[in-house]
Every structure is written in C-alpha cells, then in structure tokens.
Structure 1
Amino acid sequence: MSREAKPFRPKGEMQIAEVANGIIDPVLARRAGISTALLGSWDEIAGQEFADCSRPEKIAWPRRDASDDAGGYQAGTLTIACEGARALFLTHAQGELIARINAFFGFPAVRQIRIIQKPVSQSVKHRRPPKPLRGEEARRLEGMMEGIESEALKKAVTRLGTAVLQKKMR
C-alpha cells in the first residue's frame, strides 16, 4: 500500500492575527485595495500628529485601457478619513504622507491623497502605560537592550519588554 505524504506543518501555536489577516486581506484588497498591514501600521505612517484623527479608507487604482501604450503599473489614489479641522492640516502634510506610504509599500503605490471629513472611530482604547519594572526583571530588560543605539527603538523595546515581563510576573 502506498501512503500519500502529507505536507509538513510545523507544530506550535499560530497567532490569531495571522489567521485573521489571511482571511481579511483578500477581502480588503478586492473591496478597498488596501491591506491589514497598512491599517495596522497606520499610526507609525501617519505619525503622532494624525494617527488619532485619520484612517485609510481605500486605494482607487486607475483603470487600464487596452490601447494604453504606457502599460504597466500606475499608482493609485488613497482616500483617507479625517476628523474635523485637522483635515486641513493633513492636506498641507500630504506630500510627506505620500512619501511615508510609498516607503512603507516599498514602491510608488500612491500618487495622490483624497481626504474626506468624517468621524474616525478608534476601536482600540488607550491604556495607561505599565508601571516600570523593578529588581531582577528591570536588570534583565536592561541587559536585553545593550547594543541598541536608536532611542526610538529602545523606547519601543522597553514598552514591549515591560508589558511582557509584567504579565509573566502575575
């Protein structure tokens, strides 16, 4: 008897985000032209000034004409929802925002931004920062950060490490 070989699947845990992104990404790509990666990284892309008052809605890609000699890829228009008067400030900063978005994608994905004014609901509630670590856990975290030169990266690792190590202590 011959047995068919089953594909190798590593044992272990899968993050729910991986499963959800695998399901949601194709739907978002088809309906809105965006990915969960863009939505998840929006706070870093938009920066502190616009992260809390804006969110990407969709990317409209230009239709290709069969007689178009240029062929190939054309950058799209990103629609961003923004609250109130801050939309005016976002309009003035759109050149920098386009550069950040294209850097995130790694290619010129967006050529222009369309801003619509509407409420932006924030589903994630901001929590208080965790209390600083003490004793052995604090020394352990400090040891992990040796060699990190970037202050921004150090702050991010400190926040993450503090949250993780505090949960282990509970």
Structure 2
Amino acid sequence: MARTARRGIVQISEVANDLIDPVLAKRAGISTMLLGSWEEIAGSEFADCTRPERIAWPRRASEMAGEGGGHQPGVLVIACEGARALFLSHQQGEIVSRVNGFFGFPAIGQVRIVQKPVSAQPARRGPPRPLKGEAARHLDDLVSGIEDDALKAALRRLGTAVLGRPRR
C-alpha cells in the first residue's frame, strides 16, 4: 500500500507500523493497531494479564483450488497469565464481539487461551560494583562491630548495592 507524500514531519510510529504490520500480518495474522488497542478490547479486568498472540486463519479448500471463496472467521490465540485464564474463558464471547467490532467484520469466530507469562520481566542487573574511597570506608565502619560472618557478608552486599547506586 503506497502512502502519499505529505509535507512536514512524519511520526515514527507511522513509519514503524508500515514496516512492522506486513511482518505481523504474515507471521501472526494481527496488526499493530490490534496490539495498540488491546487494553480497550480486553478491558481493565484483563488488559494487564493478557496479550493477543496471533490469529489462526483457516485454510479453505476453494483457496487451494484457486477459486475465490467467502471469508471464514479465524481463531484468536490469547496468552494469559495463570489462574486468570479461567475467568477469561468465561468472557470469550465478549472478547470475540469486541475484536470483531474493532475489525468491523466477523474476523474472529473463537478464542484459544494459552497460559504463559505476559508481563515483561524486569531486567536482571549484574552484581554491584565494589565501593571505592569514602563510601567503602563508611561501609567498613558500619559493619565493623558485627561478629557473625554470614550476617556481616550479607550486610556488606546490601550496603554495596545501596551506597553504590547512582543518586537521582
């Protein structure tokens, strides 16, 4: 689909969507518009624990024979965290109607729920850098009176992490 040239600034999201949408459509059958609107489609009850994965479109016999055929609704695969999948399964009809309303035609006939983690995992950091100078001397003074070696080591690790953290 060719985009007409406009004067002025083009938003990066428009360029990114033009690049990403064909790949998503081919591999997953979904668009960035669906992903971006998922919070409104899923509702506040499920927006934080679900994510649309793909739409599995059925292969038609007429398509393989080279004939044009009618549209058949697909299956929307939704990733859902843990026990919330049970509650989501009770809302399948509502999700189907909301997705179809979003597309403007009966694109989805059913929903398949896959239980898996959805929220982004926090990035793991490496061990904190050793303290130097005044901060190292201050930490040594704080833990000097502790006799238990395990406790002293744990407090030293904690102190290194806290004192070595950049101030904001």
TM-score relative to the length of structure 2: 0.65
Distance 1:70 1:16, change over 3 A: closer
Aligned residue pairs total: 116
Q: Deviations over 1:123-167 (max 9, x none)?
A: 8xxxxxxxxxxxxxxxxxxxxxxxxxxxxxxxxxxxxxxxxxxxx
User: Where in structure 1 are there 5+ consecutive unaligned residues?
Assistant: 1-7, 124-170
> Is the Cα–Cα contact under 8 Å of residues 77 and 111 in structure 1 kept in the other structure?
yes
Cα distance in 2 between the residues matched to 1:106 and 1:21 = 20
Cα distance in 1 between the residues matched to 2:51 and 2:60 = 27
Distance 1:89 1:18, change over 3 A: same
User: Where in structure 2 are there 5+ consecutive unaligned residues?
Assistant: 122-168
Cα distance in 1 between the residues matched to 2:68 and 2:23 = 29
Cα distance in 1 between the residues matched to 2:81 and 2:109 = 22
Cα distance in 2 between the residues matched to 1:83 and 1:36 = 21
- 1:107 matched to 2:114? The reply is no
Cα distance in 1 between the residues matched to 2:11 and 2:25 = 21
Please point out which of 91, 94, 100 is paired with 2:92.
94
TM-score relative to the length of structure 1: 0.64
- 1:32 matched to 2:28? The reply is yes
3-state SS of paired residue (1:12): coil
Cα deviation, residue 10, structure 1: 2.6
Rg (Cα) greater in structure: 2
> Is the Cα–Cα contact under 8 Å of residues 55 and 120 in structure 1 kept in the other structure?
yes
Residue identity over aligned pairs, in percent, reads: 68
Cα distance in 2 between the residues matched to 1:41 and 1:122 = 18
Which of structure 1's runs of 4+ aligned residues deviate more than 6 A?
Answer: none
Distance 1:11 1:116, change over 3 A: same
Q: How does 1:145-160 map to 2 (within 5 A)?
A: none
- 1:116 matched to 2:114? The reply is yes
Cα deviation, residue 65, structure 1: 0.3
Q: Deviations over 1:32-83 (max 9, x none)?
A: 000000000000000000000000000000001036x992110000000000
